[in-house]
Amino acid sequence: MIYIALLSVAVLAVSSAAIFAFLANAPGVVAAFWRLTLSIPFLLLIYRPKKLHLSKIPILAGLALSLHFTLWIESLFHASIAVSTTIVCTHSLFSGLFAYLWGEKPKPNQILGVIVAMVGVYFLSGADPSTDVYGILLSLAGAVAGGYYFASARFARDINFPSYILLTYFSAAFFSLLACLITSQPLVGYPISTWIFLFLMALIPMLIGHTLLNYILRHMEVIPVTASVIGEAVGATLLASIVLNQTLQPVAYLYMLVILLGIAVTFKKSK
């Protein structure tokens, strides 16, 4: 029960990411770099591993995380928050696929739940006809990278958690920095409002949300966890409506209920 409660907190935390990223108004790769980098000092206050367990798994997970953030944040400027976030949340499908390839067999109710949630995501992603195809492709690519990243956390349980999380975040920040340098994106020189939202993004969806998700994946199977993160699409859409006045057709809220139903199904008999 404790992990369900922690999962609820994590989903609520990551639901704020789209709003903060949009309001920060920084290039996707820059926002990804600072979201990761600003969270690391706080992480070091929590975890002080005496020795890091070096492994290629968190390094590759960090590369996937960097791609996930960069592609998805950039997609927010080419699609509405509702569409972008619902598409990137299909990472549940890809994480389930990676988990299956790595030996974790999904239960029938988990497969059914993901299918139901994906149907809701499909219809919700079409709730804004003005969406740019480029934004859809960016968020979909971000979903594939996110699927690998989340699945990696489940299959790195032989690495102590402080080592895994620190190496993953450090690696992701490093790869994001390289991307900034290669694309000549400025790391500084942004208005104070941008730094405020970058800081909030690092503190709430990153430090709290993602760290909790990585921890929970050590104790729960991939599909129930990542299917729950599909709830981020609902939370982000509601926040976008309230904060940014990005309103949707009334039927979109029916699709949200379908998504939540799918998430609920994945937990049935999943103990």
Q: Which of 11, 3, 62 is nearest to 208 (CA)?
A: 11
- Is 80 exceeded by the pLDDT of residue 49? no
Task: Decide: 32 and 202 in contact? Cβ < 8 Å.
Answer: no
Q: What is the pLDDT of residues 216-265, one digit of tens each?
A: 999 998 888 988 887 888 888 888 888 888 777 788 778 878 877 887 78
Q: Which pLDDT belongs to residue 125?
A: 67
Cα–Cα distances in angstroms (integers) from residue 193 to residues 5, 25, 190, in the given order: 32, 9, 8
Residue that has been written with the tokens 């149907």 in this structure: 119
Most confident among 122-136, 176-190, 247-261 (mean pLDDT): 176-190
Question: What average pLDDT does the chain have?
Answer: 88
User: Over pLDDT 90: what percentage of the chain?
Assistant: 51
Comparing 79-88, 109-118, 157-166, 248-257, which segment has the lowest mean pLDDT? 248-257
Q: What is the pLDDT of residues 191-214, one digit of tens each?
A: 999 999 999 999 999 999 999 999
What is the value of pTM for the model shown? 0.88
Q: Which pLDDT belongs to residue 192?
A: 97
- Is 90 exceeded by the pLDDT of residue 96? no
Q: Any alpha helices (H) in the chain, and if so which ranges?
A: 2-14, 17-24, 28-46, 56-75, 81-88, 91-101, 108-125, 133-154, 161-182, 192-201, 211-216, 222-229, 231-243, 251-267
Q: Which pLDDT belongs to residue 270?
A: 46
Cα–Cα distances in angstroms (integers) from residue 128 to residues 3, 125, 188, 214, in the given order: 34, 7, 33, 32
Q: Which pLDDT belongs to residue 116?
A: 87
- pLDDT band, residue 130 (cuts 50/70/90): low
